[in-house]
């Protein structure tokens, strides 16, 4: 019976939710993929074709990095104009054990000949997760810049943009973070002048007010007129264009002079940090989130394999499963207010499934597993049925 349930649930997640199971991590064979990290044999995994390549010395370290990489890519795919098929070469992220780290910075991002972007992160159990997230974000922004402008000294990852994308990826992963950021921002007083923020350089004190102001600028500029305005300006500044001077030209007609630009900026910050609205998820984003949060990967026999949901009950005492069950319950609760209605029931039953697994309640676990399967099927059927109706409805 358990084998039948395993096949059924695996089929459900791979075909019913239909969410690119191509994010299957795999061992590699090229020179880069078999090289050692700090003198030790490396294991290489992928979040997806042309996205992130995770290089670790311990397979267990890859699990969290893979989830973070998928989350960052998904969050920034639209605002950063990431290619749906991925880049020609992925961003290579190496997790270097802290004992072997010899750099003054916590992480480094480099661009090699041919446009290969590499990220090296000082790795330990107590590493700050925000720092690791920033490393992924900075590497991805640099890869976007390389794809647009090729390799050269003009490439730049503005500090405000890195901070904004880091915060935005947190919001997309846990939508309730938007409310938390708004409440925090309201206590930080007047935002920095727009020119100062856009010209914020590394090495300066990283003020929390400036970090959140970066997020508000990032969000506001994407809503000002056609999205192509944002895309054109973004492409320019990643290629070395002066951000403050080129902003009025990219958003032609929006501001008369420097005074009106600063007035707009003050109003934009106030709007972004007081509007009580969490970013809602589209149908596709909701489905992709459900697939990702119901997908479990474990290292077995030197490779990463998919673990069936029905195995969680037996695996619940393993430290990584125990902590991940708690984490995913929190993530499910945070997304309930913004996930698309088609998948709201599936999210609820998934939360009950993880709660029952964490408590070791087999009866409730089996019931929740069955309900989750049913609710996921119902969500996909709703999506397909309504889509078919809209596609065939007469246009007036």
User: Do both 174 and 287 map to the same domain?
Assistant: no
Q: Of 254, 274, 294, which residue is a domain's last? A: 274
> Residue for token digits 């969490």?
278
Q: Kindly report the CA angle at 48 between 42 and 49, in degrees rounded to 5?
A: 95
Residue 52 within any structural domain of the chain: yes
CATH number for the domain spanning 112: value is 1.10.390
User: Do both 206 and 301 map to the same domain?
Assistant: no
Domain count, the chain: 2
User: Do both 189 and 153 map to the same domain?
Assistant: yes
Residue 19 within any structural domain of the chain: no
User: Do both 220 and 284 map to the same domain?
Assistant: no
Residue 395 within any structural domain of the chain: no
Element housing 77 (H / E)? none
Residue 40, strand partner residues: 37
Separation CA 141–CA 352 (nearest Å):
37
pLDDT at 343: 92
Q: Of 249, 274, 299, which residue is a domain's last? A: 274
Q: 294 to each of 14, 126, 206, 328, 353, how far by Cα in Å?
A: 10, 26, 36, 9, 10
Residue 336 within any structural domain of the chain: yes
User: Do both 245 and 331 map to the same domain?
Assistant: no
Residue 312 contacts residue 52 (beta carbons within 8 Å): no
Residue 324 within any structural domain of the chain: yes
pLDDT in 10s for each residue of the chain, 396 residues: 333 444 444 445 544 454 332 222 333 323 334 445 545 678 899 998 999 999 999 888 888 899 899 999 989 998 999 998 999 999 999 999 999 999 999 999 999 888 899 999 999 988 899 999 999 999 999 999 999 999 888 899 999 999 999 999 999 888 878 888 999 998 888 899 999 999 999 887 788 999 999 999 999 999 898 889 999 999 999 999 999 999 999 998 889 899 999 999 999 999 998 876 555 677 888 888 888 889 888 877 777 788 889 999 999 998 889 988 988 988 888 788 778 889 999 999 999 999 999 999 999 999 999 999 999 999 999 988 887 887 675 654
Residue 75 within any structural domain of the chain: yes
pLDDT at 394: 60
> Residue for token digits 């209605």?
341
Q: Enter the DSSP assignment of 327.
A: H
User: Do both 288 and 259 map to the same domain?
Assistant: no
Q: Of 242, 274, 306, which residue is a domain's last? A: 274
Three-state secondary structure of 80-111: CCCCCCCCCCCEEEEEEEHHHCCCCCCEEEEE
User: Do both 209 and 178 map to the same domain?
Assistant: yes
Residue 326 within any structural domain of the chain: yes
DSSP 254-323: S-SSHHHHHHHHHHHHHHHHH---PPPPPHHHHHHHHHHHT-EEEEETTEEEEEPGGGHHHHTTSHHHHH
User: Do both 208 and 348 map to the same domain?
Assistant: no
User: Do both 302 and 207 map to the same domain?
Assistant: no
User: Do both 83 and 141 map to the same domain?
Assistant: yes
Residue 22 within any structural domain of the chain: no
Residue 120 contacts residue 94 (beta carbons within 8 Å): yes
Listed in sequence order, the DSSP H helices in the chain are: 2-11, 31-34, 59-76, 129-149, 159-173, 177-186, 194-198, 208-221, 227-238, 243-250, 258-274, 283-293, 312-315, 319-335, 344-359, 362-392
pLDDT at 339: 87
User: Do both 169 and 42 map to the same domain?
Assistant: yes
Q: Tell me which residue range forms the domain holding 41.
A: 31-274
> Residue for token digits 């010395």?
57
pTM score = 0.69
Separation CA 161–CA 128 (nearest Å):
20
CA atoms within 13 A on the CB side of 99: 4
User: Do both 254 and 358 map to the same domain?
Assistant: no
């Amino acid at each position: 019976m358990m084998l039948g349930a395993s096949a059924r649930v695996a089929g459900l997640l791979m075909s019913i939710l239909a969410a690119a199971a191509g994010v299957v991590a795999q061992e590699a064979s090229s020179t880069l993929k078999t090289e050692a990290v700090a003198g030790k044999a490396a294991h290489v995994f992928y979040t997806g074709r042309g996205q992130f390549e995770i290089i670790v010395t311990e397979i267990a370290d890859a699990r969290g990095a893979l989830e973070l990489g998928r989350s960052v890519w998904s969050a920034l795919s639209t605002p950063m104009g990431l290619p749906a098929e991925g880049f020609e070469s992925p961003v290579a992220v190496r997790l270097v054990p802290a004992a072997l780290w010899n750099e003054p910075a916590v992480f480094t991002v480099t661009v090699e000949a041919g446009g290969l972007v590499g990220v090296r992160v000082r790795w330990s159990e107590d590493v700050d997760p925000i720092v690791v997230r920033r490393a992924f974000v900075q590497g991805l922004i640099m890869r976007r810049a390389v794809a647009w402008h090729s390799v050269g000294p003009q490439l730049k990852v503005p500090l405000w943009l890195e901070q904004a994308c880091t915060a935005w990826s947190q919001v997309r992963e846990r939508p309730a973070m938007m409310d938390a950021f708004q409440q925090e921002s309201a206590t930080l007083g007047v935002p920095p002048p727009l020119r100062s923020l856009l010209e914020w350089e590394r090495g300066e004190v990283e003020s929390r007010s400036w970090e959140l102001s970066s997020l508000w600028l990032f969000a506001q500029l994407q809503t000002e007129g056609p999205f192509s305005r944002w895309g054109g300006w973004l492409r320019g500044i990643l290629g070395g264009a002066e951000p403050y001077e080129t902003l009025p030209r990219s958003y032609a007609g929006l501001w008369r002079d420097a005074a009106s630009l600063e007035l707009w900026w003050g109003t934009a910050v106030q709007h972004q940090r007081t509007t009580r609205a969490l970013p809602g998820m589209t149908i596709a984003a909701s489905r992709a989130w459900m697939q990702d949060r119901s997908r479990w990967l474990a290292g077995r026999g030197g490779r990463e394999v998919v673990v069936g949901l029905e195995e969680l009950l037996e695996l619940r005492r393993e430290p990584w499963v125990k902590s991940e069950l708690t984490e995913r319950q929190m993530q499910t609760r945070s997304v309930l207010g913004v996930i698309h209605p088609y998948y709201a029931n599936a999210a609820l039953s998934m939360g009950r499934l993880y709660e029952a697994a964490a408590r070791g309640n087999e009866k409730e676990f089996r019931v929740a597993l069955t309900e989750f399967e049913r609710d996921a099927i119902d969500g996909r059927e709703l999506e397909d049925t309504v889509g078919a109706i809209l596609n065939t409805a007469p246009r007036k």
